[in-house]
Chain A
Amino acid sequence: MQTEKPEYVDFAVTARKYKTLLTKKYQNRRVWVNPSAFEIQSFIPGTILQIFVKEGDVVKEGSPLLILEAMKMQNRIEMPFTARIKKINVEVGVRIPKETLMIELEEV
């Protein structure tokens, strides 16, 4: 596992930095991004069955945005709060991975 000449990096644990190597898993870890309320992301990978809104629409809280079919279940994605549809990044029939940005919102 150890390479010929290890390239140690500075690694902070609390107030001190240690010289050490990083594991592959640590290097590939996902860095936390604060989710934006204005971004509707897919919570599960699946297929877009239906889209009920179009860009520019002002949609009321609780109204359906689209149907995301995943694991044989049709999930109705609803508007989290009243806002305008700024951009729709998906189309009917496309298969999308988890955490795909489907719809972007903006304040009315």
Chain B
Amino acid sequence: MTLKKNILALRQKKAIVEKGGGDKAIEKQVAMGKMTARDRILALLDTNSFHEYDLFVEHEEQNFGMASKELPGDGVITGTGTINGAPICIYAQDFTVMGGSLGLKHARKITKIMDHALKMKVPCIGINDSGGARIQEGIGALAGYGEIFYRNTMASGVIPQISVILGPCAGGAVYSPALTDFVFVVENISKMFITGPNVIETVLGEKISQEDLGGARVHAEITGNAHFYALSEMECIEQIKELVALIPHSNQQKAASVAPKEPKSKKNIENIIPADPKQPYDVRDVILALSDDSKFLEVHELWAANIVIGFGRLNGETVGFVANQPLYLAGVLDCDASDKAARFIRYCDAFNIPIITLEDMPGYLPGVDQEHAGVIRHGAKMLYSYSEATVPKITVILRKAYGGGYIAMNSRHLGADFMFAWPGAEIAVMGPEGAANIIFRKEIMEAEDEDAMREQKVQEYIEKFANPYVAASKGYIDAVIEPQETRELLLHALEVSKNKDDYRPAKKHGVPPF
């Protein structure tokens, strides 16, 4: 009888805490168009798979009237569960409990589940919805943030870390997501900034709304803080599931294989790319024509659109695609594009995902703003990350490969395992017009008709050098291939690279140009 009583008491206790901030606070949360923390976890995880821990953890703060305050779960739900059968660790901040504010115990619940994830080698997903530090707890809250950042860093490159911003995430709180691998945001719901509009207005007199300062769209398109952008929480949850299915769950595993499927893209790969190197096209059509089932999960879709990165599968195995995008800014490399690609390359390398590089780029973006924004430093990140990567690295030059860009886009010289080029590829030190202007400057200047001479010299240069055969004659390109052969060759190259073992000198770590 006593046991039964105890069980009933437990159920009662649980029911109270599981309500979080209570009915009124939940009503408010829903009125803001937001799901509750618990509903978010249940929607993301497989049915009945969620198991919660530390439900009865309580804060220990005595000051500022906190002694009498009961905060269910201390404002955060932590636990384990599965997504499509794969185990994960998860935490979700509960905005209905004192605004999801972070106190020391709240943080310790988070670090405990993070430690668990790192030990068990499973992904860690954090759902952020918090007003920030619990000011009443003073530096206890700061300690909590710091302990989370430390673990984010320790887990980096070992297990995937995913941050989902479903509410405010301001001040110090933003740095945990910034340290994780993928950040998801939702229109009208996510807000991220170091200092909010109020502080900015008081200190600087600049008036801006939360949305314009650090809304979902801003981080997805302007800052690049967010990797995935959704219009609703449910869409966001579907995106997370899709990503979790594609990535390995630790650096010691490989991503789950699925049955290989031929691309279903109806577009003939030969017709996607205009022969005129000045005409644009959407490089994502090439990716869809190459990838299994024509599926591609684009990362950073809106930010630095001049380069495309994301995951797809080839022969049932996950690969990372990095592709210049002639549709935007002619596919140039600039600060943001270099940043975007470099981090993705490092992610793929850390998690044993082969990298497929599709190249069609005219060079680096010229401009004072670029130079002063540090295009040297940012551009160097690409060289570093490609050179450093030991996963299989395969490049297909689709059309243009000029100058520094040619080197940066996983060239042979940076350690590419396979270099393929389509027959229309132009691999050259620069575009023919620029090259002819320099090499034949004298002839052009001395000619009676300068323009005619320039045009003649440009044509000469195009015929002699704007092709893949010069590079192929030096062995920089392994094979000039027909577009139709590309998928077959990629599958084969990956098959051959399966046991790739690449030597790197022993070191504590390198010093990349962060």
Q: Which residues from chain A sit less than 8 Å from chain B, CB to CB?
A: 1-2, 6, 8, 11-26, 29-32, 45-46, 70-71, 95-97
B222 within 8 A of A: yes
Cα-based distance from A8 to B363 in the complex (angstroms): 19
Q: Could you list some 9 contacts between A and B, CB below 8 A? A: A14-B362, A14-B430, A17-B278, A18-B330, A19-B278, A19-B330, A20-B330, A21-B328, A29-B369
Are A18 and B280 also in contact (CB < 8 A) when A13-B330, A25-B221 are?
yes
Return the contact of B327 from the options A20, A26, A30, A96 (Cβ within 8 A): A20
B174 within 8 A of A: no
A18 with B221: CB separation less than 8 A? no
B 320-337 binary contact with A (CB < 8 Å = 1; else 0): 000000111111100010
B306 within 8 A of A: yes
Are A32 and B431 also in contact (CB < 8 A) when A2-B327, A13-B362, A17-B278 are?
no
A71 with B278: CB separation less than 8 A? no
- Beta-carbon contacts under 8 Å, B241-289 to A: 277-280, 282
Most buried by B among A23, A30, A96: A23
Interface stretch among B80-88, B203-211, B345-353, B385-393? B203-211
Cα-based distance from A46 to B304 in the complex (angstroms): 32
B433 within 8 A of A: yes
B366 within 8 A of A: yes
Chain A residues with CB under 8 Å of B431's CB are 13-16
B 209-223 binary contact with A (CB < 8 Å = 1; else 0): 000000000000110
Cα-based distance from A22 to B330 in the complex (angstroms): 9
B403 → A minimal CB distance (Å): 8
B301 with A1: CB separation less than 8 A? yes
B510 within 8 A of A: no
A13 with B369: CB separation less than 8 A? no
Chain B residues with CB under 8 Å of A17's CB are 278
User: Known contacts A2-B327, A6-B327, A14-B430; can you find 14 more A-B pairs with CB under 8 A?
Assistant: A2-B282, A8-B280, A13-B363, A14-B433, A15-B431, A18-B280, A19-B330, A21-B327, A21-B328, A21-B329, A23-B329, A24-B221, A24-B222, A25-B336
Cα-based distance from A95 to B203 in the complex (angstroms): 9
B 359-397 binary contact with A (CB < 8 Å = 1; else 0): 000110111110010000000000000000000000000
Cα-based distance from A32 to B434 in the complex (angstroms): 24
Return the contact of B369 from the options A20, A24, A30, A70 (Cβ within 8 A): A30
B330 with A14: CB separation less than 8 A? no
A18 with B326: CB separation less than 8 A? yes
Q: Which residue of A lies closest to B223 (CB)?
A: A25
Chain A residues with CB under 8 Å of B302's CB are 1
Q: Which residue of B lies closest to A71 (CB)?
A: B203
B202 → A minimal CB distance (Å): 10
Return the contact of A15 from the options B279, B306, B437 (Cβ within 8 A): B437
By Cβ-Cβ distance, the 6 closest A-B pairs, closest first, are A18-B330, A95-B205, A32-B368, A15-B433, A15-B434, A45-B204
- Beta-carbon contacts under 8 Å, B300-319 to A: 301-302, 304-306
Chain B residues with CB under 8 Å of A30's CB are 369
Cα-based distance from A44 to B304 in the complex (angstroms): 28
Cα-based distance from A1 to B298 in the complex (angstroms): 12
Cα-based distance from A13 to B329 in the complex (angstroms): 9
B280 with A21: CB separation less than 8 A? yes
Cα-based distance from A83 to B305 in the complex (angstroms): 48
Cα-based distance from A11 to B332 in the complex (angstroms): 10
A20 with B204: CB separation less than 8 A? no
B329 with A26: CB separation less than 8 A? yes
B329 with A11: CB separation less than 8 A? yes
B50 → A minimal CB distance (Å): 35
Chain B residues with CB under 8 Å of A70's CB are 204
Chain A residues with CB under 8 Å of B433's CB are 14-16
Q: Which residue of B lies closest to A96 (CB)?
A: B205
B305 with A1: CB separation less than 8 A? yes
Most buried by B among A2, A8, A20, A32: A20
Are A14 and B329 also in contact (CB < 8 A) when A8-B280, A21-B280, A25-B336 are?
no
Most buried by A among B279, B327, B363, B372: B327
Cα-based distance from A26 to B221 in the complex (angstroms): 11
Q: Which residue of A lies closest to B203 (CB)?
A: A71
A22 with B329: CB separation less than 8 A? yes
Chain A residues with CB under 8 Å of B221's CB are 24-25
- Beta-carbon contacts under 8 Å, B379-434 to A: 430-431, 433-434
Cα-based distance from A17 to B326 in the complex (angstroms): 12
Q: Which residue of B lies closest to A29 (CB)?
A: B369
Cα-based distance from A30 to B368 in the complex (angstroms): 9
A44 → B minimal CB distance (Å): 9
B306 with A23: CB separation less than 8 A? yes
B326 with A20: CB separation less than 8 A? yes
Cα-based distance from A45 to B363 in the complex (angstroms): 37
